[in-house]
Structure 1
Amino acid sequence: MAAPAIPDRAIPAGLDPALRARIAAAAAPLEAPAGAVLFHPGDACTGFVMLGTGTVRVDLVAEDGHTLLLYRVAPGEACLLTTACLFAGEAYTAEGRAETALEGLLLPRGAFDTLVAESPAFRRFVLAGFGARMTALMARIEALSFRSVDHRLAEALLAHGRREVAATQAELAVEVGTAREVVTRRLNALAREGLVALGRGTVVILDPAGLRTRSESG
């Protein structure tokens, strides 16, 4: 079976053609189906992932199996933990999972180290991605620490970008960093206020403006 073609869209268009060609020559195609675990806590980092399509979610996993969403990685974005592990030479401390089917590139550790050392443009690209993800993670920590569950839940629902959100209450609990029972109570309260309607594994947003007001007032 022939190997899949390397998706050009995984390499940022803002990089100069010579650097893009160098990355393409050194990288290997990466494919994973939805639900595939890309790395576990304790795994060594084998290379720098550049997504062309799909989304990866990165979760902290407790000993009892409970998970806490740290961040998602979309095409054009860097995985904070992967970059940190490559620079520090340490193992992963969280779990990465393909949230959807994905395609991209895996730039092996050796090639990554060489490009960081030799190419100022690649180094700026990597550090800019690292900084952006760190800022987003700090915002996530702030929300978990100082924002109400109502605020986080409303924000999580709106972030899906659809009127009908296909997510179970357990999945929403992971997103907002609380227990499923708490999400159940808060969803029922939002339903009584006419902001959402609840179905089996779905939440329909009836009043986006009202829900946005709730997300901004927590």
Structure 2
Amino acid sequence: MNQVNNHQGTANYEFLSLIPFADKMSAEGKRLLAQSIQFAEFPAGTILKTEGEKPNQMPILVSGSIKVFKASPNGKRLTLYHLEKGNTPCLLAAYSILKNKNFPAEVIVDQSCEVIIIPADTFRTLYRKEISVQRYVIDLGMHRINHIFTTIEQVAFHGVDERLASFLLEKFTENKISKSHKRKLDMSHQEIAREIGTAREVVSRLLKNFEKENFIRMARRSIELVNY
């Protein structure tokens, strides 16, 4: 993992407010956490973790976006979930650390991000001693497992056209909720294919069909939803 602008101090208490479970920890736990954590910045495209790596860090995202995905030997990718500011951190990192298992997926920076890094040994210690950390891991598991099972269900039981339509609707709904009200999705066909676990050619063909039905309008690296 390439760390950029990495800052480490003996008492990083100012970062504790950015860690979701820190507020309810004991004074001893807060002290251990403050003495152990690091703050780092990563540019877009940075590979944070590759499949099979030993678990050595628990990342807490402060800003930006991170993607967790599985890659097949033939180059296909299936996105498992995204980490974004304000949502729950990485379930697979917590699982790998607590079970001492190799990391089962790959992690890449989508948008330049700021991350608080908790060493694996510190996270294990806090999990053993702090109820708030235990509850956090349980809540994290419930949240992410539901999302991952939804992804598996879509791949196993739904056609690619349904997955693509669902993905587009989800993205446009996110834009509406975030009040950006963007009618365009700025993604390439290859990027969309990686998100839904199929080939670029399949996405291009289906998007052309959607355009013929007047559901969308396409331009270079953008898709506009009609009558949205």
Q: TM-score, normalised by structure 1?
A: 0.86
| Aligned counterpart in structure 2 of residue 186 of structure 1, from 181, 184, 206 | 206
The Cα shift of 1:13 comes to 7.3
For the aligned residue pairs, the C-alpha RMSD in angstroms reads: 2.3
Could you report, residue by residue, the CA deviation over 1:33-80 in whole angstroms, capped at 9, with x for unpaired residues?
111100111211112111111111111112222212111122331212
Q: Does 1:27 align with 2:18?
A: no
* SS of residue paired to 1:15: helix
1:90 equivalent in structure 2: 101
* SS of residue paired to 2:121: helix
* SS of residue paired to 2:185: strand
1:148 equivalent in structure 2: 159
Whole-angstrom CA distance in 1 between matches of 2:156 and 2:35: 44
1:158 equivalent in structure 2: 169
Query: Match for 2:211: what amino acid?
Result: A
Unaligned 5+ runs, structure 1: 209-218
| Aligned counterpart in structure 2 of residue 168 of structure 1, from 188, 192, 196 | 188
Whole-angstrom CA distance in 1 between matches of 2:184 and 2:138: 36
The Cα shift of 1:14 comes to 8.0
Q: After the TM superposition, which residues 98-117 of structure 1 pair with which residues of structure 2 at under 5 Å, given as runs? A: 98-117=109-128
1:3 equivalent in structure 2: 7
1:198 equivalent in structure 2: 218
Query: Match for 1:64: what amino acid?
Result: N
Report the more deviating stretch, 7-16 or 27-36: 7-16
Q: TM-score, normalised by structure 2?
A: 0.82
1:47 equivalent in structure 2: 57
Whole-angstrom CA distance in 1 between matches of 2:156 and 2:67: 20
The Cα shift of 1:7 comes to 4.8
1:80 equivalent in structure 2: 91
Structure 1 contact 55–98 (Cα < 8 Å) conserved: yes
Structure 2 contact 216–226 (Cα < 8 Å) conserved: yes
Go from structure 1 to structure 2 and tell me whether the alpha carbon gap of 1:152 and 1:7 turns closer, same or farther (over 3 Å shift).
farther
* SS of residue paired to 1:113: helix
* SS of residue paired to 2:201: helix
Unaligned 5+ runs, structure 2: 176-181
Could you report, residue by residue, the CA deviation over 1:92-136 in whole angstroms, capped at 9, with x for unpaired residues?
121100111111211101110110011011111122112211111
Whole-angstrom CA distance in 2 between matches of 1:64 and 1:201: 24
Go from structure 1 to structure 2 and tell me whether the alpha carbon gap of 1:203 and 1:9 turns closer, same or farther (over 3 Å shift).
farther
Whole-angstrom CA distance in 1 between matches of 2:183 and 2:17: 29
Q: Does 1:16 align with 2:24?
A: yes
Report the more deviating stretch, 14-23 or 57-66: 14-23
Q: Does 1:65 align with 2:72?
A: no
The Cα shift of 1:188 comes to 0.6
Equivalent residues, number: 208
| Aligned counterpart in structure 1 of residue 132 of structure 2, from 115, 118, 121 | 121
Could you report, residue by residue, the CA deviation over 1:164-199 in whole angstroms, capped at 9, with x for unpaired residues?
111111111111222212111110111111111111
